[in-house]
């Protein structure tokens, strides 16, 4: 528009120069030149257009001045050219100054925008889990803090939960961490789908997820939510060439009943989760004060256990493993016993989990193993020692050498040692465990897979590890003769073991009917109170002398002890 208007005015001025009185021509020229100059100033941001306009209004006057060459016209022409050049110089300088200022301003705005975006991204990453995209632990706790602050104004209670996956570690070991990551992403999506818009799902770390649900007030609602969450995880997870099954345990804590600070609520939800996992896979538990009392009691047990290990006051009892064919003992399983002067008798199923959780299990295992090996060295040469190896020792690279060193110090042949390994310990780090087992087997040590059928290993692992024996968990033998009993499962385990050249030992044999059934299906060895109770080392020595190595009492009688 500016170019068109200026061109029209300049053109009109040019025609005026030709038509007006010669005395007015100079004024017309000045009008045209001033018009072009102003237009050029307006077009400072368009230098090409400015040049064009200046050329249009400068060339005609100069041409007119030079039509009749006189000193005066030459002076006017020279001044016009000089002024135009000076003006154009300042015009360009002004233009580039503006351009630089504008570009600097735009660059600054871009930098500010990038900085703001970077800050937003950093904030997002700081508050979200990079794998699943869910809120992370920090965002989870911030959200809990916000709900606690808002409670004073709204009076709206809420519930938080912690969901922990049961059996996720084997997926990583078998299918790889990439598949494990995909499973975690899918778990987060399923949990979020259950909640919908009712609350928040966060990944707290590893295979642990957090739940926040405002307005959830009753135990029944929390239990139903836990059941829904667990049900969402029961559908198989795609692992590429195969699929995997998972379950999830849930622990819930209510605000304000369970605590009035975020960290306290999370801790108490963790306590509830711990109780849920103790009860079995896929369970839901709501925090109660009694649970915290139990945790305090566990803390007392941990302190006392540290003292007991330091003072080496834990004892050992030995439970016979009897060959079913002739009822003779072939091995004795070492069992830890602890009678604390203040807390009283504490059973292994209480203090062993405390030792595992507190990191004392390694030191405890080594101490008891040394004592068991030392005492077993004095037993008859045809009797073996069976000892439960903890997961801590199993995955240690030096495990095999340490065990053989202790055997050598006590003078016990490796062939007289049976190491019992649980499926859970085996799968904690399968490759390291398999290497340890292979090293021990080459040295002559026997390996038994303990509590078979209760974990995740199942039949698929039997051809991947070198073992000698399967111990059938007492949970299967306990329901013999009942509706929906597990006789068929035990039969399948015995047949599988026989097909693979493995022996079987049935635990928890306490009735004659159990004894007779296990005998009928060809189980090799038995262990249970029907045959004998655990014995101290001294009781073992006395019993062996009295019976002159005779058979353990047949069903219907109880052995001494």
State how far the alpha carbon of 244 is from the alpha carbons of 60, 261, 426, in Å. 90, 38, 18
465-454-355-419 Cα dihedral, nearest 10 degrees: -40
- Residue boundaries of the structural domains of the chain: 2-100, 137-287, 297-547
Q: 78: which 2 tokens?
A: 């020279």
Burial (CB count within 10 angstroms: exposed 0-12, middle 13-18, buried 19+), residue 323 = middle
Each of the 561 residues of the chain gets a pLDDT tens digit; together they read 444 444 555 555 554 555 555 555 556 666 666 666 666 555 555 566 666 666 666 676 667 666 767 777 778 778 777 777 777 777 667 666 766 776 787 888 888 888 777 776 666 667 788 899 999 998 999 999 999 988 878 888 899 999 999 888 888 877 888 888 999 999 999 999 999 888 999 999 889 999 999 988 788 999 999 999 999 998 888 887 778 888 899 999 999 888 888 888 998 999 999 889 888 788 999 999 888 787 788 889 999 999 999 999 999 999 999 999 888 899 999 999 999 999 999 999 889 989 988 889 999 999 999 999 999 999 999 999 999 998 888 888 888 899 999 999 999 999 999 999 987 777 777 788 888 999 999 999 999 998 776 654 455 566 778 899 999 988 888 777 655 556 888 888 899 889 889 999 999 999 898 999 999 999 999 999 988 899 988 888 787 766 554 445 444 444 333
Q: 508: which 2 tokens?
A: 């928890």
- Residues with Cβ within 8 Å of 76's Cβ and at least 6 positions away in sequence, in order, are 61, 65
- Residues with Cβ within 8 Å of 2's Cβ and at least 6 positions away in sequence, in order, are 39, 42, 43, 49
Are 10 and 30 spatial neighbours (Cβ–Cβ below 8 Å)?
no
Determine the Cα–Cα distance for residues 506 and 487; give it in Å rounded to an integer.
Answer: 12
Architecture in CATH for domain 137-287:
2-Layer Sandwich (3.30)
Determine the Cα–Cα distance for residues 411 and 385; give it in Å rounded to an integer.
Answer: 13
Closest CA to 226 of 177, 279, 303, 180: 279
Would you say the CATH fold of 297-547 matches that of 137-287?
Answer: no
Strand blocks (E) in 458-554: 469-472, 503-506, 525-526
The alpha helices in 128-205, defined as continuous H runs, are 137-154, 168-175, 177-195
State how far the alpha carbon of 212 is from the alpha carbons of 154, 253, 265, 401, in Å. 17, 10, 11, 49
Options 3.20.20.450, 3.20.20.20, 3.60.150.10, 3.90.1170.50; CATH for 297-547 is 3.20.20.450
């Amino acid at each position: 528009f500016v170019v068109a208007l200026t061109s029209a005015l300049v053109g009109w001025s040019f025609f005026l120069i030709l038509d007006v009185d010669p005395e007015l021509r100079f004024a017309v020229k000045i009008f045209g030149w001033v018009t072009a100059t102003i237009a050029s100033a307006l077009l400072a941001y368009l230098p090409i257009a400015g040049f064009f306009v200046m050329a249009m209004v400068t060339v005609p006057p100069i041409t007119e001045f030079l039509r009749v060459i006189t000193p005066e016209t030459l002076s006017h022409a020279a001044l016009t050219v000089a002024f135009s050049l000076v003006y154009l110089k300042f015009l360009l300088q002004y233009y580039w100054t503006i351009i630089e200022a504008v570009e600097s301003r735009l660059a600054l705005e871009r930098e500010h925008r990038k900085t703001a975006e970077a800050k937003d991204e950093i904030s997002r990453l700081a508050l979200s889990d990079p794998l699943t995209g869910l809120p992370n632990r920090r965002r989870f706790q911030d959200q809990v803090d916000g709900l606690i602050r808002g409670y004073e104004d709204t009076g709206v209670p809420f519930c938080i939960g912690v969901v922990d996956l049961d059996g996720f570690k084997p997926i990583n070991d078998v299918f790889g961490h990439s598949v494990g990551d995909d499973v975690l992403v899918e778990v987060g999506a399923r949990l979020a789908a259950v909640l919908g818009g009712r609350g928040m799902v966060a990944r707290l770390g590893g295979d642990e997820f957090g739940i926040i649900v405002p307005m959830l007030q009753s135990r029944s609602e929390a239990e139903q939510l836990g059941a829904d969450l667990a049900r969402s995880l029961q559908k198989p997870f795609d692992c590429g060439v195969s699929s995997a099954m998972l379950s999830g345990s849930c622990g819930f804590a209510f605000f304000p009943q369970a605590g009035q600070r975020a960290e306290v609520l999370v801790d108490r939800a963790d306590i509830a989760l711990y109780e849920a996992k103790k009860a079995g896979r896929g369970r839901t538990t709501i925090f109660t004060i009694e649970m915290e009392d139990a945790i305090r009691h566990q803390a007392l047990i941990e302190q006392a256990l540290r003292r007991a290990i330091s003072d080496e006051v834990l004892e050992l009892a030995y439970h016979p493993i009897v060959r079913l064919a002739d009822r003779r003992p072939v091995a004795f399983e070492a069992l830890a016993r602890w009678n604390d002067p203040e807390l009283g008798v504490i059973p292994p199923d209480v203090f062993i989990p405390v030792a595992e959780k507190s990191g004392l299990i390694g030191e405890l295992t080594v101490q008891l193993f040394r004592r068991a090996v030392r005492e077993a060295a004095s037993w008859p040469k045809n009797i073996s020692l069976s000892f439960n190896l903890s997961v801590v020792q199993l995955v240690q690279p030096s495990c095999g050498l340490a065990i053989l060193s202790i055997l050598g110090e006590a003078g016990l042949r490796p062939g007289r040692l049976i190491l019992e390994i649980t499926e859970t310990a085996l799968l904690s780090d399968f490759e390291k465990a398999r290497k340890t087992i292979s090293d021990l087997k080459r040295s002559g040590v026997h390996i038994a897979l303990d509590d078979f059928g209760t974990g995740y290993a199942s039949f698929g692992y039997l051809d991947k590890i070198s073992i000698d024996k399967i111990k059938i968990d007492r949970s299967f033998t306990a329901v013999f003769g009942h509706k929906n009993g597990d006789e068929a499962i035990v039969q399948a385990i015995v047949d599988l073991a026989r097909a693979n050249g493995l022996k079987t030992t049935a635990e928890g044999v306490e009735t004659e009917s159990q004894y007779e059934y296990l005998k009928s299906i060809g189980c090799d060895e038995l262990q249970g109170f029907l045959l004998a109770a655990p014995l101290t080392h001294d009781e073992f020595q006395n019993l062996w002398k009295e019976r002159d190595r005779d058979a353990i009492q047949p069903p219907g009688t109880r052995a001494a002890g």
